[in-house]
Amino acid sequence: MINKNLAIQTINLSKKFGKLTALDDLNLEVEPNSIYGFLGPNGSGKTTAIRLMIGLSRPSRGNAYVNGLSCTARRMEARQVIGYLPDVPMFFGFMTGLDYLVFCGKLFGLSFKEAQKRAWPLLDLAGVKDAANRKANGYSRGMKQRLGLAASMMGNPKVLFLDEPVSAMDPIGRANVLDIIKNIKEKATVFISTHILSDVERVSDKVGIIDHGRLLVSENIHELKHKFSQNCITVNTLEDNAPLAGIIKTHDWCSDVIVRTNDQHMPELVIYLKDQIAARSALPKLICQQGFTIINYITTQPSLEDIFIKLAGVK
């Protein structure tokens, strides 16, 4: 059922390349004026999903709607409200940054003067105003992403698709661009595809996690964390605790254990519990009986990374 009030809606969206199913029955909904973080490991189908939603690719089954407009049947109208930043923005070698923005503006129906008038503030916002009259192909990777972001906004889009928008930027640049993205929310819906989880955590209202072409979860980020946090304990030990994980997993009160090293390079176990009450007494005793020295033992709200790893199964 098409809901015209949604900014983005996909209904059984699927894509096959021969025998390979790149996307399998994607059903997601994005509210207007929100930021949706689309997460997944490499090759999970993120870019395929975006390309279907912006009309560069045709679905094998199902459909995608942007602002209630079908991305297949009403492609031209849908493109009028879409802005897109690809993961590797490319520019015509003979164009300067300003030329490219003006060209984009004209393709959206602006006159030359209108396009110039719109381009300069966007170049300033994106932080490439000083390089506006330089050939775009001579920009650094980070500058190209910024120029691409500015270009994606030339048409005053209602829905902005950003594929890895900050992957090539330094930390300061990344923070700056993420702030820009947060502010865009007031005028447009933003759909970010990335595998930088901290960025999604920072700006997104809703998160979708995809793996092997299937959407594993699509939920408000706080509700998602709350759902996973209720039964989660993080334990740091002095010794390498990988053998301990196997022992803990055998108990009924445990649903899953993730082994990792924390930022201080200490061995860490993230233990997901089925029965918090049973684990409360059994777990500390078990760890000590096995000869491990507990340094930290805390109930935690898992990070998005933890949830991502748990759902996508990436170690």
The strand order across the sheet containing 214-220 reads 82-85, 159-163, 189-194, 35-39, 206-211, 214-220
As beta bridge partners, residue 26 has 13
Q: Does 45 bind other proteins (CB under 8 A)?
A: no
CB 69 within 8 A of CB 78: yes
- Beta-carbon neighbour count of residue 54 at 10 Å? 22
As beta bridge partners, residue 256 has 272
Stretch that binds other proteins, among 59-67, 87-95, 189-197, 240-248 (CB under 8 A): 87-95
Q: Does 89 bind other proteins (CB under 8 A)?
A: yes
Stretch that binds other proteins, among 83-91, 202-210, 269-277, 300-308 (CB under 8 A): 83-91
Distance CA 216, CA 214 (A): 6
Distance CA 179, CA 195 (A): 18
CB 196 within 8 A of CB 46: no
Using CB under 8 A, count the residues that bind other proteins: 27
Q: Please state the closest distance from residue 90 (CB atom) to other proteins, in A.
A: 4
Give the Cα-Cα-Cα angle 227, 230, 233 (nearest 5 degrees): 125
Structure token pair of residue 51: 């390309």
Q: Does 297 bind other proteins (CB under 8 A)?
A: no
At 288 the three-state DSSP class reads helix
Q: Please state the closest distance from residue 130 (CB atom) to other proteins, in A.
A: 23
Residues 154-183 that bind other proteins (CB under 8 A): 155
Q: Please state the closest distance from residue 166 (CB atom) to other proteins, in A.
A: 19
Of 151 and 244, which has the nearer Cβ to other proteins? 151
Q: Does 145 bind other proteins (CB under 8 A)?
A: no
Of the candidates 45, 62, 86, 208, which one interacts with other proteins according to CB under 8 A? 86
Q: Please state the closest distance from residue 44 (CB atom) to other proteins, in A.
A: 19
Q: Please state the closest distance from residue 56 (CB atom) to other proteins, in A.
A: 5
Q: Estimate to the nearest angstrom the gap between the alpha carbon of 238 and the chain centroid.
A: 35
Residues 103-142 that bind other proteins (CB under 8 A): 103-104, 106-109
Q: Does 55 bind other proteins (CB under 8 A)?
A: yes
What is the phi/psi pair of residue 294, to 5°? -80, 125
Q: Please state the closest distance from residue 160 (CB atom) to other proteins, in A.
A: 12
Distance CA 24, CA 82 (A): 24
- Site of interaction with other proteins (CB under 8 A): 54-58, 76-77, 79-80, 82, 84, 86, 88-94, 103-104, 106-109, 151, 155
